[in-house]
């Protein structure tokens, strides 16, 4: 059943995001529903502000008032999440919750996808996605932490460095 789990967006009262997330997971554990409700996530971003000449770094909610829940949608799991104090409902049309698409999940960075890197500095590649699709280039730098690569692409007779994600390129055999 785990492969049927999808990410859903739950609307909460502002400031109740952490309480809703904790309560949903505790309720799922207490009722033996961890196979239906697998994960709860509150997207955060790291922000650095300069205040009185001092740099302060803190985490801020990307979507205040919303919590992401990875779950298998059944009547029982829907009721468990929906009846948590501070939760106002699922994002969707009417009473029907709509799951996030794979593209939305990837752009939010909620799930970490593993990439098998089959290229290195100096490898010849072809851009397989994005505005430069179909262009050929050579790998100049690989950043495994950010899952990106800097490639030198020849455009209009000029060598141009471009930063791309791992999933936007494929190696070319010479």
Rounded distance between C-alpha atoms, residue 57 and residue 71, angstroms: 32
Length of the chain: 174
Residue 115 in any domain: the answer is no
Bridging pattern class, strands 66-71 and 6-12: antiparallel
Residue 77 in any domain: the answer is yes
pLDDT digits (tens, 9 = 90+) for 51-66: 888 888 888 888 899 9
- Using the predicted structure, report yes or no on whether residue 70 has a pLDDT greater than 80: yes
Distance of CA 172 to the CA centre of its chain: 29
pLDDT digits (tens, 9 = 90+) for 31-40: 999 899 999 9
pLDDT digits (tens, 9 = 90+) for 102-153: 888 877 767 665 556 777 888 898 888 888 888 898 999 888 777 788 999 9
Residue 114 in any domain: the answer is no
According to the model, what pLDDT value does residue 112 have?
Answer: 61
What are 135's two structure tokens?
Answer: 């262009």
- Using the predicted structure, report yes or no on whether residue 3 has a pLDDT greater than 80: no
Rounded distance between C-alpha atoms, residue 174 and residue 166, angstroms: 20
Residue 140 contacts residue 159 (beta carbons within 8 Å) = no
Region 13-20 average pLDDT: 92
For 28, the domain range is 2-108
Is 78 in the same domain as 23?
yes
Is 72 in the same domain as 156?
no
Out of 81, 108, 135, pick the residue that ends a domain: 108
Is 98 in the same domain as 15?
yes
């Amino acid at each position: 059943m785990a492969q049927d789990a999808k990410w859903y967006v739950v609307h909460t009262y502002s400031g109740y995001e952490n309480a809703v997330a904790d309560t949903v997971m505790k309720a799922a554990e207490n009722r033996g529903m961890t196979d239906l409700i697998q994960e709860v996530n509150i997207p955060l971003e790291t922000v650095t502000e300069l205040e009185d000449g001092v740099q302060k770094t803190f985490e801020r909610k990307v979507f205040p008032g919303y919590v992401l829940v990875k779950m298998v949608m059944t009547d029982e799991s829907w009721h468990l999440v929906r009846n948590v104090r501070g939760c106002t409902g699922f994002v969707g049309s009417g009473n029907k919750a709509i799951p996030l698409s794979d593209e939305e999940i990837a752009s939010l960075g909620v799930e970490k996808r593993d990439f098998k890197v089959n290229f290195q500095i100096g490898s010849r590649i072809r851009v397989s996605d994005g505005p430069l699709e179909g262009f050929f280039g050579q790998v100049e730098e690989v950043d495994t932490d950010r899952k990106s690569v800097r490639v030198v692409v020849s455009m209009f007779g000029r060598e141009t460095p471009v930063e791309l994600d791992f999933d936007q390129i494929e190696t070319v055999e010479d």
